[in-house]
Amino acid sequence: MTYTLEQLRGLVAVAEELHFGRAAARLRMTQPPLSRQIQKLEAAIGVRLLDRDNRRVALTPAGEAFLREARRVLAIAEAAPDLAQRVSLGTRGVVRVGFTAASTFGILGRLLDDLERELPEVRVELFEMVTREQVAAIAGDDLDLGLARPPFDPDLFASRLLHREALLLAVPAGHRLTGLGRAALPADLATEPLIFHSQQKARYFYDLVVSMVRPAQERVVQSVSQILTMLWLVAAGRGIAFVPASATLLGIPGVAFAPLATPIPEPVELHLLWPRHSQNPALSKVLSVLDALKV
């Protein structure tokens, strides 16, 4: 079954005018070629679409059904060039974004709000992953953009610092460390049971805490990968934990926070991460928008 867009436009014009002469004038053509278009269309699909004689033109039941589909096909065809242009410009498309669980504490929501406002036709698909999973997914073209922790291979990835924050101590409510009147020092933690970051699954935080505080490893009673899990363990009185300042937004009952002395005031970093060579026009547009908004 083969028919052309011109044939479909001819059928729509005749169906709406119910007169070959007026339909031909509307299409800026003469009546005989329009009649031949309709005949070829009917031959192509194998059914009669119009009842016509010298006095009247009317759609057959098959013609009524086909008319609805013809209008739909024409609408798609007419929208296609504009759609292709928007996809090429990056104002329409899909961007697959990876994020760490901790990045949802205030950062991810604001980023999504900005993109929805500035690029309403770009759909953002979200995937929760730890940084090493994001790196592998971006390298394998399964993600376009990551919200991840450094370091990254500069030959493969481009990145931009998105957010910095302090490292705090999460402690049970009423704990002595909240009453020091100063930032806690490593010596203040010498007798405390520690809930620590998994060296395998939360390597960034593990390395950061070890480099900043050098806690006594023999005091580690639990090793976990998620900040939220740490806070629930703290609330249960299992120990104290090192967490980013954004964890205070979670409002876990029974958990308080104490400042921690670190060589760098805000050592916790979150970066935008993307491949140096991407074929996705929408990614370039997203990065431009985020850069202009200073997100």
Q: Which residue has the tokens 């049970």?
A: 172
Higher pLDDT, 107 or 261: 261
Band (pLDDT 50/70/90 cuts) for residue 125 is: very high
Res. 200: pLDDT tops 60: yes
pLDDT for 86 equals 55
Burial of 154 (0-12, 13-18, 19+ CB in 10 A): exposed
Rg (C-alpha) for the chain, rounded Å, is: 32
pLDDT for 170 equals 97
pLDDT for 174 equals 93
Q: pLDDT tens digits for 79-114?
A: 666 655 655 555 678 899 999 888 887 788 889 999
What proportion of the chain, given as a percentage, has pLDDT over 70?
94
Give the mean pLDDT of the chain: 87
Q: pLDDT tens digits for 154-194?
A: 999 999 999 999 999 999 999 999 999 999 998 999 889 99
Sorted by where each starts, the structural domains of the chain and their CATH numbers stand as: 5-89 (1.10.10.10), 93-164+269-292 (3.40.190.10), 167-265 (3.40.190.10)
Interatomic CA distance for residues 119 and 145, integer angstroms? 16
